[in-house]
Amino acid sequence: MELFSTIVETVNAYLWGIPMIALLFGTHLYLTIRTGFIQRKTFTGIRLSVTRDPDSSGDISQFAALTTALASTIGTGNIIGVGTAIALGGPGAVLWCWLTGVFGIATKYGESLIAVKYRVRTKDGTMLGGAMYALERGLNMKWLGITFAVLGTLTSFGIGCGVQVNAISSIVNSNVKPLITSGGLKNMLDTYPWLISLAVGLITSAITCLVIFGGVKSIARVCEKLVPFMAFFYVIGCLIILFINRAFLGETFSVIFRSAFTEVRSIAGGLVGSGIMMSARYGIARGLFSNESGMGSAPIVAAAAQTRNPVRQALVSATGTFWDTVVVCLMTGLVLVSSIIGHDSISVTNLSGGELTNAAFSLIPYIGQPILIVGIITFAYSTILGWSYYGERCLEYLMGKRGVIPYRLAWAIVLVAAPIIQLELVWSIADTLNALMAIPNLIAVLLLSNVIVKDTKYYLKHLDEKDETPIPLLED
């Protein structure tokens, strides 16, 4: 296992080197320029996200598609991932993570646009779309569409399943075990320390199956209710901590900006900068893990939305990156860095990414730990639901409807087994799969950028007109 971990880390060091960072961040910048800084339409996208478009073709509402995508993106990457980026890449990683979100809005917009434009309707009326259909129908590159679908299926079991249930197991273990100090149950846990993890896996698997076997409409119904609650709950906790640390916020911003480009030493908690390359690598990697801009995952559910044209849904989908990274990840980064600077008991020298967040929330008397526990569990569970849909659609592209039930059963099995696996290895594998999945999707976005620009210019002129030309649907 140690050899395998070393191999994975070596592969990641190559994948997340200068070429991948240049490809990902370069695509963000390129589309930002080509679309005329589409980020300026973020608040239009927010308005459209709560405006129903019921007469249009699609399986779920635009808001349901957005919350399902947010369910997948607002996950442990926002809590544990940001802490891991700071621990490995220094505080400057927060800035790179945030910039990935700001410019990544353009990429999320572009990939969602082509996902809707090239979506198909199956014989049973279901909408299917994503990078695999854009590659096949927009570029006549079915082989690359198959590659994306294979990688998407594999990635779903890592980023969307293994990492998330592992995070739930970790938080439950760290909070339940200390409460059991004597008796037969303690002796049993001492003998079989994996019992709590197994119980978490079984329970998570059971309640997940109740939702995912109902299909996308069932998943969307749960996400519509869960996502706004969990995000509001977590943001309130962050605001309380930032108020507690208000005296250190000025230094926090200074340290983040300086350490993004230089080595900064002698900061409280053993916090040091890692230079531009390490900060960028971990900041961009965790930013991608968090907001998934460029991965091609969120557009899969965007293709199921009821919308009159691809631009409307693309604007809605792009707000997901805004909420996830520009808002939530930034708040987590500020919370962690200000807590490390202001409190000697919180240190990167002896705490992992998740433990840093845990220590920061302990600054809130009485309710800090419950807020974090609820946040991690709901964030992780919602991601499990969203990514189950992504992986299922990728496998359906490869195998048709016959692959759906076996996929759901495999998903349930992985949920039971994953909590026992070493968390660090799961994160590393997820980073590898994220990078591999992003490559064919970014190729689709770049090669279809002229289409994106053309549709953007046309539909933005007619965005609020009732007689907008509906998008043509391809029959599968």
Query: How much is the average pLDDT of 31-42?
Result: 94
Polymer length of the chain: 476
The pTM assigned to this predicted structure is 0.87
pLDDT for 419: 85
| Per-residue pLDDT tens over the stretch 334-354 | 999 998 888 877 766 666 666
Query: How much is the average pLDDT of 393-410?
Result: 93
Give 476's pLDDT tier (boundaries 50, 70, 90): very low
Token code pair at residue 196: 């709590």
| Per-residue pLDDT tens over the stretch 260-296 | 877 655 555 555 555 666 777 777 777 766 778 888 9
| Per-residue pLDDT tens over the stretch 434-472 | 788 889 999 999 999 999 999 999 888 876 555 445 554
CA-based nearest residue to 128, from 366, 420, 389, 309: 389
- Other Cβ atoms within 10 Å of 374 Cβ, number: 17
CA distance 220 to 233: 20
For residue 413, pLDDT beyond 90: yes
> How many helices and strands in the chain, by DSSP H and E?
24, 3
For residue 133, pLDDT beyond 90: yes
pLDDT for 467: 45
| Mean of the per-residue pLDDT values of the chain | 83
Query: How much is the average pLDDT of 218-231?
Result: 87
In the chain, what are the domains? 11-180+187-459 (1.20.1740.10)
Query: How much is the average pLDDT of 219-241?
Result: 88
Torsion of CA 375, 380, 386, 387, to 10 degrees: 160
Q: Are residues 252 and 334 in contact, defined by beta-carbon separation less than 8 angstroms? A: yes
Handedness of CA 241, 247, 253, 254 (dihedral sign): negative
Q: Are residues 146 and 398 in contact, defined by beta-carbon separation less than 8 angstroms? A: yes
Q: Are residues 208 and 385 in contact, defined by beta-carbon separation less than 8 angstroms? A: yes
* pLDDT above 90 as % of the chain: 32
Give 54's pLDDT tier (boundaries 50, 70, 90): low
pLDDT for 349: 65
| Per-residue pLDDT tens over the stretch 237-267 | 999 999 999 999 999 998 888 888 776 555 5
Give 71's pLDDT tier (boundaries 50, 70, 90): confident
The β-bridge partners of 60 are 305
For residue 9, pLDDT beyond 90: no
pLDDT for 415: 93
CA-based nearest residue to 173, from 204, 198, 199, 197: 197
Give 475's pLDDT tier (boundaries 50, 70, 90): very low
* pLDDT above 70 as % of the chain: 86
